[in-house]
Amino acid sequence: MKLNIAVLPGDGIGPEIIGQALRVTEAVCEKFGHELSYEYAIVGASAIDEVGNPYPDSTHELCMSADAVLFGAIGDPKYDNDPSAKVRPEQGLLAMRKKLGLFANIRPVTTFPSLIHKSPLRAELIEDADFMCIRELTGGMYFGRPQGRSEDGNTAYDTCVYTREEVERILHLSYKYAQLRRKKVTVVDKANVLATSRLWRQVAQEIEKQYPDVETEYMFVDNAAMQIIQWPKRFDVLVTENLFGDILTDEASVITGSLGMLPSASIGIETSVFEPIHGSYPQAAGKNIANPLATILSAALMFEYAFELKEEGALIRKAVDASMDAGVVTEDISSAGKAFSTSDVGDWIVNFVKK
């Protein structure tokens, strides 16, 4: 099979972790006889520095021509610490989502036996937790207009907007994933307060009738935030709007014991993007200490969702599990006093794949 991917390393530790994920991807393709082609493009702060645009047209054209996009991270302190900056790295991420039609972010939340002790939650609460967060990506407050500040700078405003079509699209996707899992969907909203949430709930109540084999429950976002921590094993597929999803998925990361372990897939109309959920971690850039496992697991999602190559994705997961069981991990999740470098972890997983 021919696999054509766009590679967007981005900022901070992005180039280092993407480098290891790409090496693993190459090893898997070699093992299974796939033909891999890829091309790099700039995005984020590095793109602003080079061309003044965090998501240049050339990058977009490459993504449009690719079968999948492997993406690192965006962000740089010089923009984070400058509220007056007119162009910001994160604008590139939002532009990419909008232009590629990346309407659904899928974040699997699973536990790793060797990391249970790293979670701040009790082991009995999180052992065998396995659920999927599906976050709507192209609507809501991040994209609603008007948005801005008053002339005197003392008033700021954001607008939350959703259309029926956007809500229907993400809900249908969620039910289809639930049918492949444990057949339960939790719709998270704030319908007691927000008009957009009332639209979400109305549409969900209509759509749930089309999936009689799937159990549907409705939960306010504040309650969901509490229950993700108290009873994470009660969830199967959790679907919600953009802002709520952004917050809840980062909260759910503590279940695994490390933000550096969670991959994600952004499913799009034009193509799909696969990326770790952590940030650019600029303090570690160039030090060869960043955890590449979330990015490597994002490559596994790429094989599964973009190319429907389940066996290839399963091999990557097996390799990651084996590396953790062997203690070949970076300093953020090391517990035996021995930490490996980013490239050491990549080497170990590549060698496992090649066996």
Active site residues: 142, 190, 222, 246, 250
Tell whether the torsion through CA atoms of 257, 259, 263 and 264 is positive or negative: positive
Q: Is 341 exposed, middle or buried (CB count within 10 Å of its CB: 0-12, 13-18, 19+)?
A: middle
Instruction: Count Cα atoms within 13 angstroms, Cβ side, for 101.
Output: 8
Q: Residue 21 has which token pair?
A: 């994920």
What is the number of other CB atoms lying within 10 angstroms of the CB of residue 152?
Answer: 6
**Category of 257 on φ-ψ map: left (φ > 0), alpha (ψ -120 to 50) or beta:** left
Tell me the backbone φ, ψ of residue 328, rounded to 5 degrees: -90, 85
- Packing angle of the helix pair 14-32, 342-354 (nearest 10 deg): 10
Query: For residue 128, which of 228, 232, 224, 225 has the smallest C-alpha distance?
Result: 232
Angle at CA 156, nearest 5°, toward 86 and 223?
Answer: 110
